């Protein structure tokens, strides 16, 4: 195991040479990147680029055809990875309060009936407070807004003190206000609790102010480094295999891919003018 | 006391042995159906629950033919069907409905055959009525311990898997990532459902057992925001409906002496439906207010 990186920060996740082939189709090829404790990493790419597949490989739900994934072992008995899946629909008919869902993050995998515990209740209250969810703690999860649901799912994922938090498109279907709230919350969690946060999104712009590192997926391959290193015309042209322009407008980044025919082969119309 | 209740409770109600058996069995089965049914509704498996009841008629009617209690036939058939449904692909919502439909069709064919043979063998329609509409007043008291054991098994499985069941109902990815064996939990739940449905099939009938499984649970889901309470409320609602139903059916022997009283299943199912309607009326305004306030916050 690689314990510590040179700069003294803990390495939490090491993905080395990972390739994935699903039903004969190569989804990811030779993906390598490392993430340290407290680092905020954006996993960027258009829809269908392989972001969800990569997250599922890290979770151990998909076995790569080659390569290794290592997650630094945490303290005993705790799940190592907190996970917020893509597009969960919380049914308004489900009799479950926000605080119940957060509490299930502690012991939801246990069998037997839950016993009332003051410690557990306090832990849930503190977590609800940490994600600014105390106000709607006793509401039914299915009746909450998208942003409120995301905060509850994040609390569910981190209440067991994982070292790594994976979020699959948590900003999809959020209005701009809640999007900003969720990003700020995640940045605070990464900083204060030294949790490595890996968040997938097709739009990198909301993450620009807080992102320490970027893992950019296209054509089944990745480019990684700081935003400045990766999101440049030169680097993305190499990754996409077609000429790519990177345009900065009003603190936003616009990625525009070149020739239509080649772009179409890689990701449909979205990669022609890609707002990433 | 007895005199004051006499307009409500006809004479001999509590001293009648079939009534005593009906109260005990019906009560136990209603509680189990309420607990298991709460998760059936939460997991969106009402169709599987109803199908298992129909599928079980093949087993129930076959058991009648060979002269053993229909309960054993129901349980054996339902467990087998649950296994096949799981095997065909119960984990994907669409595959799940498809699998249920295929098994349902095949089993109903068998049920048609066995019910026909039942009625020709006994030259009455008693078997058909018993299997399809329940036999709570004709259950031998010797079946009480058997029913108790099956009840403990079904409710026990669900309560033991309480937390993993809730999480895997929300999202199988979320549950898997938290170390829950989602498929195993699904199989365990389906087995509990198969047993619970069999139990309600012999009490209020195969066709009506969905009402006892889904009705109280659907009502309870309107009344509370907490899963444990929902299961408890569903159990109580089912219990009240069943006991009142038994009482009304008994009383109806006195109201309609010429027809020999109305079936208990009718009363139970009607009471459950009325309670569901009442819960809709009572809680609609409040949930409307809640929804409005969330909208303002979001906007």
Domain for residue B293, yes or no? no
Percent of chain A past pLDDT 90, that is, above it, reads: 38
Domain for residue B291, yes or no? no
A81 forms bridges with which residues in the sheet? A164
Least confident window among A203-207, B68-72, B87-91? B87-91
Label each residue of B170-221 as H, E or C.
Answer: HCHHHHHHCCCCHHHHHHHHHHHHHHHHHHHHHHHCCCCHHHHHHHHHHHHH
A66-71 β-sheet, strand order: A25-36, A11-22, A66-71
State whether B167 and A96 contact (CB < 8 Å). Answer: no
Give the structural domain span for B21. Answer: 17-285
- Out of B161, B177, B227, the one facing A100 most closely (by C-beta) is B227
DSSP code for A73: -
What is the pLDDT at residue B167?
Answer: 93
- Contacting residues of B for A144, CB less than 8 Å apart: 294
State whether A93 and B229 contact (CB < 8 Å). Answer: no
What is the pLDDT at residue B255?
Answer: 83
Q: pLDDT tens digits, residue range B149-198?
A: 999 999 999 999 999 999 999 888 889 888 899 989 999 999 999 999 99
A97: alpha, beta or left? (left if phi > 0; alpha if psi -120 to 50) = beta
- Contacting residues of A for B164, CB less than 8 Å apart: 108-111
Q: pLDDT tens digits, residue range A179-205?
A: 888 899 999 888 888 899 999 998 888
| Cut 0.90: pTM above it | no
Q: CA B42 → CA A123, B54, B208, distances in Å?
A: 27, 21, 20
Percent of chain B past pLDDT 70, that is, above it, reads: 88
What is the pLDDT at residue B194?
Answer: 94
- Out of A93, A101, A145, the one facing B298 most closely (by C-beta) is A145
- Residues A103, A51: Cα–Cα separation, whole Å: 28
State whether B225 and A140 contact (CB < 8 Å). Answer: yes
- Give the number of A-B residue pairs with CB atoms closer than 8 Å: 106
B164 touches chain A (CB under 8 A): yes
Q: What is the CATH number of the domain that holds B226?
A: 1.10.3470.10
A50 touches chain B (CB under 8 A): no
- Out of A95, A112, A147, the one facing B230 most closely (by C-beta) is A95
Pairing label, strands A252-257, A273-274: antiparallel
Q: How far is A221 from chain B (nearest CA, A)?
A: 25
- Residues A145, A151: Cα–Cα separation, whole Å: 10
- Contacting residues of B for A174, CB less than 8 Å apart: none
- Contacting residues of B for A100, CB less than 8 Å apart: 166, 226-227
Pairing label, strands A213-218, A221-225: antiparallel
- Contact of A108 with B164, CB cutoff 8 Å: yes
Nearest-CA neighbor of A14 among A54, A53, A52, A69? Answer: A69
Nearest-CA neighbor of A36 among A4, A80, A73, A68? Answer: A4
State whether B178 and A113 contact (CB < 8 Å). Answer: no
- pLDDT of B2 > 60? The answer is no
- pLDDT of A216 > 50? The answer is yes
Q: CA A212 → CA A13, A131, A191, B116, distances in Å?
A: 15, 21, 11, 73
Nearest residue on chain A to B233, alpha-carbon basis: A95
Predicted confidence band of residue B290 (pLDDT cuts 50, 70, 90): very low
The domain spans of chain A are 11-92+149-231, 242-276
- pLDDT of B220 > 90? The answer is yes
- Out of B44, B226, B291, the one facing A100 most closely (by C-beta) is B226
What is the pLDDT at residue B283?
Answer: 53
Q: pLDDT tens digits, residue range A27-86?
A: 999 999 999 988 999 999 888 888 999 999 998 888 999 999 988 865 554 557 899 988
State whether A85 and B166 contact (CB < 8 Å). Answer: no
CB contact residues (below 8 A), chain B span 229-288, against chain A: 229-230, 287
The two structure tokens encoding residue A67? 């390569």
- pLDDT of A5 > 70? The answer is no
- Contacting residues of B for A148, CB less than 8 Å apart: 294, 297-298
- Contacting residues of A for B295, CB less than 8 Å apart: 145
Q: Which residues of A235-265 are buried (b: 16+ CB within 10 A; e: fewer)?
A: bbbebbbbebebeeeeeebebbbeeeeebee
State whether B225 and A59 contact (CB < 8 Å). Answer: no
- pLDDT of A109 > 50? The answer is yes
Pairing label, strands A40-44, A196-201: parallel
- pLDDT of B270 > 90? The answer is yes
Q: How far is B210 from chain A (nearest CA, A)?
A: 18
A81 touches chain B (CB under 8 A): yes
Percent of chain B past pLDDT 90, that is, above it, reads: 41
Q: CA B31 → CA B34, B115, B133, B151, B225, distances in Å?
A: 5, 29, 19, 9, 20
Nearest residue on chain A to B178, alpha-carbon basis: A109
Least confident window among A151-165, A254-268, B57-71, B99-113? A254-268
What is the pLDDT at residue B79?
Answer: 94
Q: How far is B185 from chain A (nearest CA, A)?
A: 10
What is the topology classification, in CATH, of domain A11-92+149-231? Rossmann fold (3.40.50)
Predicted confidence band of residue B93 (pLDDT cuts 50, 70, 90): low
- Residues A56, B50: Cα–Cα separation, whole Å: 35
- Contact of A109 with B163, CB cutoff 8 Å: yes
What is the pLDDT at residue A272?
Answer: 43
- Out of B167, B227, B291, the one facing A95 most closely (by C-beta) is B227
State whether B166 and A96 contact (CB < 8 Å). Answer: yes
Q: How far is A110 from chain B (nearest CA, A)?
A: 7
Look at chain B and report how many structural domains it folds into: 1
What is the pLDDT at residue A259?
Answer: 61
State whether B164 and A108 contact (CB < 8 Å). Answer: yes
What is the pLDDT at residue B4?
Answer: 55
Least confident window among A28-37, A88-97, A255-264? A255-264
Q: Which of B137-146, B198-207, B220-229, B289-298 has the highest mean pLDDT?
A: B220-229
Pick the residue of B34, B158, B170 with the most A CBs within 10 A to test the interface with A by mutation: B170
What is the pLDDT at residue B89?
Answer: 64
State whether B298 and A97 contact (CB < 8 Å). Answer: no
- pLDDT of B263 > 60? The answer is yes
């Amino acid at each position: 195991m690689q314990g510590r990186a040179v700069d003294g920060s803990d390495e939490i996740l090491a993905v080395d040479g990972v390739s994935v082939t699903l039903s004969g189709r190569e989804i990811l090829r030779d993906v390598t990147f490392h993430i340290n404790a407290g680092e905020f990493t954006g996993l960027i790419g258009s829809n269908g680029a392989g972001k969800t597949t990569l997250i599922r490989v890290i979770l151990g739900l998909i076995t790569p055809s080659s390569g290794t994934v290592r997650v630094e072992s945490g303290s005993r008995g705790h799940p190592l990875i907190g996970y917020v899946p893509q597009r969960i629909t919380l049914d308004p008919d489900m009799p479950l309060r926000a605080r119940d869902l957060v509490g299930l993050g502690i012991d939801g995998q246990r069998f037997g009936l839950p016993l009332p515990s003051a410690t557990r209740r306090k832990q849930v209250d503190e977590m609800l407070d940490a994600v600014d969810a105390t106000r709607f703690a006793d509401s039914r999860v299915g009746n909450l807004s998208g942003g409120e649901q995301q905060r509850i799912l994040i609390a569910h994922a981190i209440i067991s003190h994982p070292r790594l938090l994976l979020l699959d498109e948590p900003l999809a279907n959020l209005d701009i206000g809640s999007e900003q709230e969720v990003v700020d919350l995640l940045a605070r969690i990464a900083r204060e609790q030294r949790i490595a946060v890996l968040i997938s999104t097709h739009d990198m712009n909301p993450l620009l102010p807080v992102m320490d590192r970027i893992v950019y997926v296209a054509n089944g391959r990745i480019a990684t480094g700081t935003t400045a290193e990766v999101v440049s015309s030169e680097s993305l042209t190499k990754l996409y295999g077609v000429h790519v322009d990177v345009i900065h407008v009003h603190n936003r980044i616009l990625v525009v891919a070149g020739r239509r025919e080649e772009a179409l082969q890689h990701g449909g119309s979205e990669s022609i003018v890609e707002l990433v | 006391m007895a005199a004051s209740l006499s307009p409500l409770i006809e004479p001999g109600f509590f001293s009648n042995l079939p009534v005593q058996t009906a109260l005990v069995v019906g009560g136990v089965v209603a509680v189990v159906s309420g607990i298991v049914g709460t998760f059936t509704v939460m997991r969106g498996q009402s169709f599987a629950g109803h199908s298992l009841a129909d599928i079980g008629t093949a087993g129930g009617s076959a058991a009648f033919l060979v002269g053993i209690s229909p309960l054993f036939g129901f349980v054996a058939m339902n467990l087998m069907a649950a296994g096949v449904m799981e095997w065909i692909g119960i984990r994907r919502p669409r595959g799940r409905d498809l699998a249920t439909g295929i098994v349902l069709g095949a089993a109903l064919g068998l049920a048609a055959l066995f019910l026909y043979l039942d009625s020709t063998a006994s030259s009455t329609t008693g078997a058909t009525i018993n299997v399809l509409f329940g036999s709570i007043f004709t259950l031998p008291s010797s079946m009480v311990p058997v029913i108790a054991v099956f009840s403990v098994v079904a409710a026990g499985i669900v309560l033991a898997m309480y937390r993993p069941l809730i999480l895997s109902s929300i999202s199988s990815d979320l549950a898997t990532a938290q170390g829950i064996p989602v498929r195993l939990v699904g199989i365990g739940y389906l087995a509990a459902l198969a047993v619970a449905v069999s139990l309600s099939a012999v009490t209020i009938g195969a066709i009506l057992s969905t009402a006892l499984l889904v009705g109280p649970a659907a009502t309870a889901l309107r009344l509370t925001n907490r899963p444990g309470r929902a299961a408890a409320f569903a159990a109580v609602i089912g219990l009240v409906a069943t006991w009142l139903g038994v009482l009304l059916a008994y009383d109806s022997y006195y109201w309609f002496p010429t027809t020999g009283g109305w079936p208990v299943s009718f009363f139970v199912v009607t009471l459950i439906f009325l309670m569901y309607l009442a819960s809709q009326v009572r809680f609609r305004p409040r949930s409307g207010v809640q929804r409005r306030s969330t909208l303002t916050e979001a906007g």
